[in-house]
Amino acid sequence: METRTITKDDLCKLISAEIDGGAVVYAPVAEGDCVDFKAIGDVGRICWDFGNTRLSPKSVFFPRSEVLFRGKCVDGGVELEEALDDAPPAVLFGVRPCDAGSLAALDKLFGWDYEDKFYQARRQATCVIGMGCVEPQPRCFCTSVGGSPLSRAGSDILLIPLGGDRFAVEVCSEKGGELAARHEALLGPTPEELPSEEDVIGKMARHAPLTEAKEKLDRNFEDPLWEQLTRACIGCGLCAFVCPSCYCFDIVDEPVPVGQFERRRNWDSCCFGVYSLHASGHNPRPTQERRYRNRAMHKFSYFPERFGMVKCSGCGRCGAQCPVNLDIFEVVKAFLEKD
């Protein structure tokens, strides 16, 4: 389908029609000073004026806590019941290109040596409508990791603001084409002109060739610079929880009523002290410096080696929200600049 246009009013009609048709729609919603993705039943809740959400939308596909199966004691044994339900059709609306692009990392992990049914069911049932950035935020660095403020990667449909409550509509996948076709009557003509990607990139404040960092990081694995750069880390795990591509998790059995239990998968972080703690009491990453080093190495060395892509989208959330202002962009850039 050729690039079309749509007005904000007609976009609201499209979203309302999807809700009325039974889809779960997630969109940016303002609550206090924060904007986050929430399931909505009314387009009036959508926040249209935001740089990026506080949290990424990864919880739509990879919830913070989810039941994998339930068990109960029966006649001296254990009876198990898988908790996987049919994922309802869903629309994830207003996703910035950094977040949409990060889905590729989650797709690779959850479809790698084991096909994760829980993640895949939600992913396949969801149409991602991206929202291009025409005003990058101060902490953004998507172009440093192979992205772009107007990247189509990860979006089924990309909306590009044209000003005056109008958007260009670019179909990026078969799933997006099906959604656009359902609402053909709401789409306007081809836009006369699109924002220049070069001009938008020119507004970005931070640039560094972080995709080339692997060799420098590998070579300087034991360098004292790690301790110097990361000594402020307090191991709170916030960086992993706000990150759109971090996927560390723990699996625990939790008691419910007497004689029953749930096996749950919960978000975790390699920056936590107990994350790599062995049952023997040995911890191969006993200091915060080594734990943060592992986080950076995973994103810029280990993941690229295995999957051929950097596991960082350049959204800038981890640095912007870190309580001690520890910024992975600056850490990796410092190693790039070493002799």
The pTM (predicted TM-score) of the whole model is: 0.94
> What DSSP assignment string belongs to 26-80?
EEEEEETTEEEEEEES-GGGB--S-SS-SS-GGGGTS-SEEEEEEEEEETTEEEE
Strand 34-40 and strand 260-267: pairing?
unpaired
Q: CB within 8 A of 300, min separation 6: which ones? A: 210, 213, 214, 217, 310, 311, 312, 332
Q: What is the pLDDT of residue 74?
A: 86
Q: Do residues 156 and 179 touch, judged by C-beta distance below 8 A?
A: yes
Q: What is the pLDDT of residue 212?
A: 96
Strand 77-82 and strand 65-74: pairing?
antiparallel
Domain parsing of the chain, residue ranges: 4-202, 210-336
Tokens of 301: 């060395």
State pLDDT tens for residues 80-121.
Answer: 888 887 899 999 999 999 999 999 999 999 999 889 999 999
Q: CB within 8 A of 280, min separation 6: which ones? A: none
Round to whole Å and give the CA distance between 289 and 269: 14
Round to whole Å and give the CA distance between 122 and 32: 29
State pLDDT tens for residues 281-312.
Answer: 999 999 999 999 999 999 999 999 999 999 99
Angle among Cα 91, 244, 241 to the nearest 5 degrees reads 115
Share above pLDDT 70 across residues of the chain, in percent, rounded to a whole number:
100
Q: Do residues 184 and 121 touch, judged by C-beta distance below 8 A?
A: no
